[in-house]
Structure 1
């Protein structure tokens, strides 16, 4: 494999997922337990800052972002031997509860219809 930058070799995978928060207090409590865990690599100032962020966000987005394991996201392509993940970024933000149709025509491919990804085992 060459180390040269070749944009033809890179693909950006975009996934939109809408979740319904059933219990924001329980979600925040789970995130706070993760933040307070001594195994979490935060100094005390960072820990206090993250606790405040989770407590002040009544949507649960900050809490959910703490609970999503990067390995779970990378598992989307773990089984594909022909690719290697290079970089990942995850954002969690409030939603109106439905996926937006922006650009659907641009991204509508036959493959999307042949293999629906809404069944069990596809998203964790």
Structure 2
């Protein structure tokens, strides 16, 4: 099947109900009850941001280098190299948050910040 074929339009399922089933400091889990156009029903759970979002910065002080930080990662339970990142504070826009995190974690401020992409933790 060619996924770029736009000769037919898929009808999105009807959301019959949604409710928050869990919350942490960083995330919320939302349960959805869906009914598809063929009558099939499904229950889905998805991660949602529990706050104002987060930013990750690809900081390039020159065309040949990217700034990285070494921080403890709870998943692999060790220190790893990673891009600077952090939560967006209430009232902050993503660009301001990115520059603040870059200054806090790397000691650099940016003259120019260009948003590259917006991602979802769990699009499905």
TM-score (norm 1): 0.21
Please say which structure displays the higher CA radius of gyration: 2
Instruction: Pick the structure with more helix per residue.
Output: 1
**Greater RCO (Cα-Cα under 8 Å, separation 6 or more):** 1
TM-score (norm 2): 0.21
Instruction: Pick the structure with more strand per residue.
Output: 2
